[in-house]
Amino acid sequence: MIKVAPSILSADFVNLEHDVRSLGKTGVDYVHVDVMDGNFVPNITVGIPVVAAIKRISPLPLDVHLMIERPIRYVSQFIRAGADLLTIHVEADTAEQTRRALEQIRALGAHPSLSLKPGTPAEAVLPYLPLCDMILVMTVEPGFGGQRFMSDMIPKLKAIRGWIDEIKPDCELEVDGGVNIQTASICRENGANVLVTGSAYFHSPAPSAFVRTVKGGLVARS
C-alpha cells in the first residue's frame, strides 16, 4: 500500500491547527514533521513543544524527521511528545551512537527510521537495516521545502528497495523532497511506499484528488 505523509513545513503556521486537522479528511496516512537545528542543516524549524501540540489534535500518526546533530540526546523527549515514527540521520552521529539511538527508539515504543542525505551512498544504511522500520531517502538536500526532486537518487532508492525485500521486508521505504504528481510515480515505480509531500500537497487546490493521484490512482481529467 502506498502511503502519503504531508510535511507541515509547508502548512500555514498561523493556522496550524486547521491544517493539521484537515489532514484527517484527505486520505493521507502520516503527518510529517521536519525538525531542524540550524546545525545539521542550515535552517531552524520546530521542536518538542510543537510536536506535542500537534499530537494533541492530530488524527494521524506523527512521522517526525529529525535533522539534528547527535539526535540520541533528544530521542526520548520526541517520543514522549508523541512521535510514532522517529527518523534520525545516518550522518548525524557516530556508528555506535546511531545504532544506540535506533535501539532506544524501539525500546521506547516508537518505530525507528534512518535517513540519508543525497550525498550519502545507499550502502550506509545496510548495517542498520535490521534495526529499522523505515528508511528515508532524501531526494533534495535537507533544509528547505519547495526544492526540485533529484532524479539521480533513483538508483539509490532501487538498491535500498532490493535490500529491504531481502533483509527486512516489513520495513517501509520513504522518499522526501520535491515529490509531486509526476515525481511520485517515479518513486512508486522504484520501490518507495511512503511519499512525503510538502509544497505540492499544501498548494494543491484539491488535496483529496491530489492524494489519490499520488498514491497511483487515475489522474482526474479537468
State which H helix or E strand residue 62 sits in. strand 62-67
> What are the grid coordinates assigned to 217, written together?
490512482
Estimate the share of the chain in helix, then strand, then coil, as percent rounded to the nearest 5: 45, 20, 35
For ligand DX5, the closer CB: 55 or 89: 89
Judged by beta carbon, residue 27 or residue 100, the one nearer ligand DX5 is 27
Could you list the residues that contact ligand DX5 (CB under 6 A)?
A: 7, 9-10, 32, 34, 65, 140, 142-143, 145-147, 176-179, 196-200
Q: Taking CB under 5 A as the criterion, which residues in 54-113 touch Zn ion?
A: 65
Written as one letter, the residue type at 122 is A
The entry of ligand DX5, Zn ion, none near residue 198 (CB within 5 to 8 angstroms by kind) is: ligand DX5
- The listed partner (ligand DX5, Zn ion, none) that binds 177, CB under 5 to 8 Å by sort, is ligand DX5
What's the CA gap between 86 and 65, in Å, rounded?
A: 6
Residue 93, binding choice from ligand DX5, Zn ion, none, Cβ under 5 to 8 Å by partner class: none
Residues 6 or more apart whose CB falls under 8 angstroms from that of 135 comprise 113, 114, 115, 116, 125, 129, 160, 164, 171, 172, 173, 174
**Residues labelled as active-site residues:** 34, 176
Question: What does the binding site for Zn ion look like in residue numbers (CB under 5 A)?
Answer: 34, 65, 176
